[in-house]
Chain A
Amino acid sequence: MSRGQIDRRTFMKVSGGVLAAGIAPSLSAEASLSEQPPYSVKWYPFTGHPDSDTCWSLSVGPDGRIYAAACAEGVPGGVVKPVRYNEQRDDLDYLFNLAEKVDDPGDSGRASQCKIHYSFAPSMHDGVLYMATHLSGPPIDLPVYSPWYSWHDAKRCFRGSALLAYDTRADQVLWWDTLIPKEGCRCLLHDEERGLLYAMSYPRDHFIIYDLRTRSRRDIGRISSINPQALFLDKRHRVWTSSDYGHLVRYTPETDRLEISPGLLAHDLNYQTGWHSVFYDVAPSPDGECVYASTWCPNPRLMRIWPDQGEWPRVEDLGPATQPRDTSFPIDMYRDHCGGLAFAGDGKLYYVASRWRDPKYNPTPESRKQNEGVVWRLDPETLKRQEVALLEHPTGLAHYVSRGAVDHNGDLFFGHVGNRPSGIFKVSMPADRKRKNAHLPIRMWG
């Protein structure tokens, strides 16, 4: 991620007063790495797409294999290439140039089809993996792109998020459509029983429904300004996300309404208001009764949310995911980050939180890296968490994980942002903590 991209994504950062939120028990009993069974870590760079600078999407496909997006958003005219982990070769397969598949090549002069942003969604009955593109990559002859500035510019404006259906059984693109004209798709969800895709548009933050049977789109309207980074589905087919000010947002198909919760999601009561406490990542509990979520906010919080408990869900604040810091000075959410939430075959929640050297709060020696990506293992029963691995990149960064997933062999994979070429990490699970088909029941959103 370039400096400029960080600036765009963190536009309008602020902190303010204090508002109410839920309880905030601290996550406890952190164990040291040496006490844990070995979790071996391996880095897979996108060498087949050297322009790639980010990997915003990593999901398990309907076939149980790992798919990731080799995104190139810092390159004028850059395009995204979906990749798949090949367990026989222990390497990556580059599936296709998405821009070519959707007739919107990188040299079009428009903002390019540069990335897939939390927008893989599986379809189990037919083995299709849906994917939708996002924007930010500049036109080939401009250094940067702004969707606000170029909204009315037919020559420059992003053509729109391309929705693509990829048949993982036949390894072919079945069809594509424009999901959201002029806008990117921040995150995607599939309600397979109802044949509907749900998406959040960027930059206008509209809630979009796409009917797969009729291949038609409905715009349900705006939520707020800062995009939530995740949608999730409950057992009643309601779709959930969050608003700028840290409220839950619920779409109920029966009423066709977007509703805003009265309460706020978890945030630090000492100095935050709930503003920007939008979802970053949400993982379903294997039993389908609750979800675990992290926020896209400095000092991201972990939460457990029970959608079916009460008129509005019960939200448990599981505390901060990252270290204390000097709150009198802003910190960017590239350094202070938590993502990659995924349940593994051992029934535990895994996620990656950043950790960084800080003279007061984490005075690590110079022999350690300035920024570290820590793989945590959270026990849902006790809410105790254990540090089980550090992500290691041979030369570059390893602390910003976008998404995580477990494949059909039970191993963990994490998409990473910040190196060039970008890539993914594989974290091999200890034998006694993995099982076949650990990816099921599958997560239906990116």
Chain B
Amino acid sequence: MQTKSRFDPDSPEIKAYLDELAHQFVREGTMVAFPTCLPGMTTPITHDESRITALDINSKGHVYGGTSGRQAHVFGAAFHGLTGIVLDAGAVAGSTSTAAVCCGASRVIAFVNGPQGGRAMALPYLHLAEDWIQEWGLEPPVLDELGECVSGEAVVHAAGVLSGKTVVGVTTRHLFTVDVESGRITVVGEAPGQGHLATGRAAVFGQEDPTRLWRFDIASGKIHRAAIRLPDGEWTSPLRWTRDQNTGLLFTADAAGRLFSFDENQSFRFLGKAHLSPVGPMAVVPDGRLFGFCGTEMANLFCCDTVSGKVANLGVAASVLERRRYGYQFGDAVTGPSGEIVFGEEDNGGHLWLYFPRIAASAHS
């Protein structure tokens, strides 16, 4: 024989390894990959135009998002009651990526990039009610072009303020706002755009440089450059954020996968470290647990207990309910109305992945 096994198959190490392998996919909870269509009734968004890079959710629990690829698309989605649909609102001509989608009080504002720079588009809220295919169907939605945000500059990200009346965005060099109702775009001033923005109670935050954040005060409309010092860490990668809707706490991660909470009135707190880096999209469920993806090429789901700081590897995403698929790369995430998380898959043939976390044990049990 050419080779000899160099292990004891009965050793605890090998048994532990085999046990790990048996749980390499979605170790906790359930993932369901939902295609970008009304299944069985419409066709999904084109294969190479369906990398989902932006998501947001409105007060009705309807998810809106945008794709990147050969063309960018904007879509709406609903998964509760008798809905179960991703409705493609159409491709945005001349665009190849969606930087952000923001659900305002009255409509959705999407930010897309193309060879001409970054533009804002408005989409009326879709009637994502029930039983789409029955006799009272719908007219195709119309995307309203609001114009270029900052001349010749790509939009890096945008985030809605809590009132829903304004969206704050950033290009590579400038900060701008969009009035949701009128669609008016205002360039506020200079501020670098690196990674995602975070919406706090009174301000929007973005990365100034590898050590500091800038702060945009919503009430005064002023930018405070280099206002907040980042904690010790490796702040060399574009930032990702998520917000706990109950506590208002913000969460982010450094390039090494260290997870931090951020209270805009106080400071950062180190929580724990994801087992892979960089950390991608994250979302917080109502009980305070933080879920997200980490790692390149083949991301792993993780869960962070934001109280203890303990971080668990939940493995590679796989969907086995109805749509069978592996999930490797994800672009954005939102928390749904029932505590589920919706991840946008940033890959060819991207799906919306609904993640239903394991129900945490009761303190009384």
Contact = CB atoms under 8 A, between A and B. Distances in A.
Interface of A: 12, 14, 16, 49-51, 72, 75-79, 106-107, 140-144, 146, 148-149, 151-152, 182, 203-204, 221-225, 243-244, 257-260, 262, 275
Contact of A76 (B6, B297, B348): B6
B325 A244 contact: yes
Interface in B313-327: 315-316, 318, 320, 322, 324-326
A150 to B, nearest CB: 9
Interface stretch (B14-22, B156-164, B225-233, B240-248): B14-22
Given A12-B324, A225-B324, A76 B7 contact: yes
Interface of B (DSSP majority class):
loop
A76 B5 contact: yes
B3 A107 contact: yes
A72 to B, nearest CB: 7
Size class of B's contact patch?
Answer: 35 or more
B116 interface: no
Residue with the highest number of chain B CB atoms closer than 10 Å, among A16, A78, A142: A142
Nearest to B318: A12
Contacts of A221: 48, 347-348
A91 B80 CA distance: 65
B187 interface: no
Given A51-B3, A244-B324, 17 more contacts: A12-B318, A16-B322, A49-B2, A76-B5, A78-B3, A141-B7, A143-B5, A143-B7, A148-B298, A203-B326, A204-B297, A222-B347, A222-B349, A258-B47, A259-B47, A262-B43, A275-B324
A125 B118 CA distance: 50
B356 interface: no
B276 interface: yes
Given A51-B1, A51-B2, A79-B3, A148 B25 contact: yes
A348 to B, nearest CB: 37
B125 interface: no
B14 A258 contact: no
B212 interface: no
Interface in B1-53: 1-7, 9, 14, 17-18, 20-21, 24-25, 43, 46-48
B107 interface: no
Closest CB pairs A-B (n = 6): A77-B3, A141-B6, A222-B348, A151-B298, A149-B24, A221-B348
A187 B47 CA distance: 22
Given A244-B325, A258-B48, A260-B47, A142 B297 contact: no
Nearest to A13: B324
Contact of A106 (B2, B25, B326): B2
Nearest to B329: A222
A258 B9 CA distance: 44
A14 B319 CA distance: 12
